[in-house]
Amino acid sequence: MVPAPQDFVPAFTAAWMARDGDALAALFAPDADFVNVTGIWWEDRPAIARAHSYALGSFFAETRLVPGRVKIRDLGDVAVIHARMALTGQRAPDGNRAGARTTILSFVLHRTPEGWQAVSAQNTDVVPGAETHLNTNGTLTPQDYR
């Protein structure tokens, strides 16, 4: 929980950099939803904590997450946040360092008497030069029709 919507992305980033899946999940409502970049859908705070604790303790253990542009739309007791994030240091399955990634994290926050908490999150990879994905024989590949 954070005191204001503008505090959410810094708190999320701090929890990530501390490798603390429980602190990250504490920013979310007990029944929050989080959809990751591959479409895995976690439907409550404990699932969000487990997934992030696992990832931050393994393939994201040496990552650096840096916020870029952040846009906040205040809708009264609700706020929508879009945050462009740069991620470096991910480990590939063979142990080598993977290349940098850029994602856009979208959050829906709700004001409670104690502060603001996320009720929903969606993480989307930015794929340069692509407009969509194309399914060819069960394999998704980036596609640009321009």
In this predicted model, what pLDDT tens digit does every residue of 27-53 receive, in sequence order? 999 999 999 999 999 999 999 999 999
The predicted pLDDT at position 108 comes to 99
pLDDT for position 143: 96
Distance spanning both ends of the chain, measured CA to CA: 43
Burial class (CB in 10 A: 0-12, 13-18, 19+), 67: middle
Which amino acid is it at 2? V
CATH architecture of 5-127: Roll (3.10)
Q: What is the pLDDT of residue 99?
A: 98
- Distance in angstroms (rounded) separating the CA atoms of residues 105 and 80: 11
pLDDT value of residue 105? 99
**What is residue 42's predicted lDDT score, i.e. its pLDDT?**
99
Q: Cα–Cα distance between 83 and 72 in angstroms, integer?
A: 9
- Domain range summary for the chain, segments of one domain joined by +: 5-127
Q: What digits encode the pLDDT tens for the residues 1-34?
A: 999 999 999 999 999 999 999 999 999 999 999 9
Mean of the per-residue pLDDT values of the chain: 98
Per-residue pLDDT at 17: 99
